[in-house]
């Protein structure tokens, strides 16, 4: 079982990792320090389940659980607060672990996870293919903004972030370009090592020197299209 610990407090992550080391059947454990970090790690690590704190800066555990891409990992909430229990189970949580907890209580939560995972592998309805996201949550300075995927014209990398270019602005999201394009689905395609575009926004393809090109979008943006990706873009615009 692959587990991702999501908690903004390092001592809490270390305690949970220590207790997990005493449990059988745990094949891999990674950590995320907040909800934004968790979304990036989910895309690359692909955990079976999250051990998820609730009160975290920028993106709470409840908000994270509500915005997980499908098929979503299972969720066990690990929190010091009883008051979120109803909201947690509305998010289809498998268990609600109250701090402080011990190894026996954690073992019971893990047993519930194993039973749920085993049920999914033993003839229950197969998981549907990952569904493209309809919106992204972008947090900045304590404010969480909802960005509709349909409004994203193109995306470019910026250090450890990506820039989501929309008509209303260009917010930053902590995510890798490859991981985000994978989550967004077939409507997006890489057009450069540092950029991807939503195919429906492309209005013109302009040829440049040495096989490179430039994409002109309906909103007026000009997006680089390197020769490495130009054939793929043209094939998507003119499918056989």
Q: Could you list the pLDDT tens digit for every one of the 240 residues in the chain? A: 999 999 999 999 999 999 999 988 899 999 999 888 888 888 888 999 999 999 988 788 888 887 787 778 999 999 998 888 888 877 788 999 999 899 999 999 999 999 998 886 544 444 444 556 788 888 777 777 889 999 999 999 998 789 999 999 999 988 788 878 877 888 999 999 999 999 999 999 999 888 789 999 998 999 999 999 998 999 999 876
pLDDT for 169 equals: 93
pLDDT at 130: 52
Show the tokens assigned to 57.
């800066």
> By three-state DSSP, how is residue 187 classified?
coil
pLDDT, position 203: 96
Instruction: Compute φ and ψ for 117, nearest 5 degrees.
Output: -65, -40
- What residues have CB less than 8 Å from 44, skipping those under 6 apart? 176, 179
Residues 233, 75: Cα–Cα separation, whole Å: 37
pLDDT of residue 184: 85
> Helical H runs in the chain?
10-20, 35-45, 61-66, 85-90, 103-121, 177-184, 227-237
pTM of the model: 0.55
Q: What is the pLDDT of residue 127?
A: 47
Both tokens assigned to 223:
């997006």
């Amino acid at each position: 079982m692959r587990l991702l610990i999501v908690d903004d407090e390092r001592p809490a992550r270390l305690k949970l990792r220590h207790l997990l080391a005493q449990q059988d059947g745990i094949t891999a454990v990674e950590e995320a320090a907040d909800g934004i970090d968790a979304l990036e790690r989910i895309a690359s690590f692909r955990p079976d389940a999250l051990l998820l704190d609730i009160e975290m800066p920028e993106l709470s555990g409840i908000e994270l659980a509500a915005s997980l891409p499908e098929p979503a990992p299972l969720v066990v909430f690990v929190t010091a607060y009883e008051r979120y229990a109803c909201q947690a189970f509305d998010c289809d949580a498998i268990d609600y672990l109250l701090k402080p907890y011990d190894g026996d209580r954690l073992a019971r939560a893990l047993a519930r996870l194993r039973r749920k995972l085993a049920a999914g592998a033993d003839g229950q309805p197969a998981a549907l293919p990952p569904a493209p996201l309809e919106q992204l949550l972008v947090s900045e300075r304590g404010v969480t903004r909802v960005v509709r995927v349909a409004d994203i014209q193109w995306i470019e990398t910026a250090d450890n972030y990506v820039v989501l270019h929309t008509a209303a602005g260009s917010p930053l999201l902590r995510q890798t370009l490859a991981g985000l394009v994978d989550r967004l689905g077939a409507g997006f395609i890489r057009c450069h090592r540092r950029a991807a575009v939503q195919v429906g926004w492309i209005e013109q393809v302009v040829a440049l020197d040495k096989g490179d090109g430039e994409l002109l979008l309906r909103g007026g943006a000009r997006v680089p299209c390197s020769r490495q990706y130009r054939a793929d873009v043209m094939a998507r615009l003119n499918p056989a």
